[in-house]
Structure 1
Amino acid sequence: MTAPPPGPATGPALLGTRLRLLLDTLERGVEGVYADLGLPDFRPRYAPVVRALAAAGDLPIRDVARATGVTHSAASQTVAQMARDGLVTLVPGDDARRRIVRLTPRAEALLPRLGAEWDATARAAAELDAELPYPLSRLVTDALAALERRPMRERIGEVQRDAGA
């Protein structure tokens, strides 16, 4: 077996690794902006939840998940961390199984600073899209749609069957 060639790791075999690197790089940049704003503990994954609650008011976790495009489990984990950080509270819903997410006064006080950062981030993301040969935002949307049509597990299974594995 030969060693891989030196240089940057690229190619479809390393797609997951490269996507994590891309996401980590983007998030580090946004985290730096939050730190510059005096919000070193505000995480980029909080932003969609805060935006959804600021726009719609109190929401059940299920609706937070739908509004932010993540699974119920991911939304629940993010909301739990946000509650520990004092940004949201959870109150019982009309059903004992439902919990309603509400912004705290602390989070509401951050909205003007966060809104300005979100606008700047959207403009910077549009600039990044314009710099690329194929807009990253469109690529992500198209990739998610393709995987919705035919999940990766199914694709891998077909390759394995075709190869006789």
Structure 2
Amino acid sequence: MSTPELLGTRLRHLLDQLDAGVAAVYTDLGLDGFRPRYTPILRTLAATGPSSIRDLGRAIGVTHSAASQTVAQLAKEDLVTLAPGADARQRIVRLTARAESLMSLLDKEWAATSAAAAELEAELSYPLSRLVDEALESLSRRPMRDRIAGAVDL
């Protein structure tokens, strides 16, 4: 059993294992180099149509910066295009024909991944997704920096 001070290290290891498994499935499907972080953005665009990067970030639960980095990678892979939005700071993201041609396959992968995640959670004593939600909510109320500062005089 690990101790709380190794929490970040253990979570990174868990995320690495989850991402590596999903990435291997993409390779098996002939999508070499396709990253697990792409699918939530592509699926959101397929469901809602063109969207700003900020709205995409909100929709999938990541920061604007994280969404922007992923969108930049998607644009390099010819999976999305970017166009100016209502003001100079906003960019609107759209699926390319290449991305649209992949959506059926990505939807099937998503369903299979969701089933595998449910199977994993059923093996655990407490649902991981619920625990992650609770941890994120707790950290939004009191960030880790505040917790550390409260424990030590820095």
Query: How does the TM-score come out when normalised to structure 2?
Result: 0.97
Q: 2:114 aligns with which of 113, 122, 131?
A: 122
The match for 1:84 among 71, 76, 79 is 76
Return the index of the structure with the highest Cα Rg: 1
Aligned-pair distance for 1:92? 1.1
Q: How far apart, CA to CA, are the structure 1 residues paired with 2:104 and 2:40?
A: 15
SS in 1 for 2:138: helix
Q: Could you say which residue in structure 2 is the equivalent of 1:4?
A: none
Aligned mates of 1:145, 1:99 — CA distance in 2? 29
TM-score (norm 1): 0.90
2:91 & 2:12 partners in 1: Cα distance? 31
> How many angstroms does 1:96 deviate by?
1.7
Measured against aligned partners, the alpha-carbon deviations of 1:112-141 in whole angstroms (never above 9, x if no partner) come to 000000000001101111100011111101
Cα distance in 2 for partners of 1:114, 1:58 equals 18
Runs of 4+ residues over 3 Å off in structure 1? none
Q: How many residues were matched structurally? A: 154
Offset of residue 94 of structure 1: 2.1
Residues 75-94 of structure 1 deviation map (CA, whole Å, 9 limit, x = unaligned): 11110011001110001112
Highest relative contact order (Cα 8 Å, sep 6+), 1 or 2? 2
> Which residue matches 2:41?
49
Task: Determine helix, strand or coil for the equivalent of 1:44.
Answer: coil
Deviation at 1:22, TM superposition (A): 0.3
Match of 2:13 in 1: 21
In the alignment, which residue of structure 2 is the partner of 1:99?
91
CA distance in 2, matches of 1:156, 1:140: 20
SS at match of 1:153: helix
For the residues of structure 2 that align with 1:74 and 1:97, how far apart are their CA atoms? Answer: 16
The 3-state SS of whatever aligns with 1:100 is strand
Cα offsets for 1:41-89 (capped at 9, x unmatched) = 2100101101110111000111011111111111111100110011100
Q: How far apart are the structure 2 equivalents of 1:100 and 1:94? A: 9
Where in structure 2 are there 5+ consecutive unaligned residues?
none
- Structure 1 portions without partners, runs of 5+: 1-8
Deviations 1:95-126 (A, max 9, x none): 12111000100000000000000000001101
Identity %: 64
Q: CA deviation at 1:13?
A: 1.2
Matches within 5 A, 1:57-68: 57-68=49-60
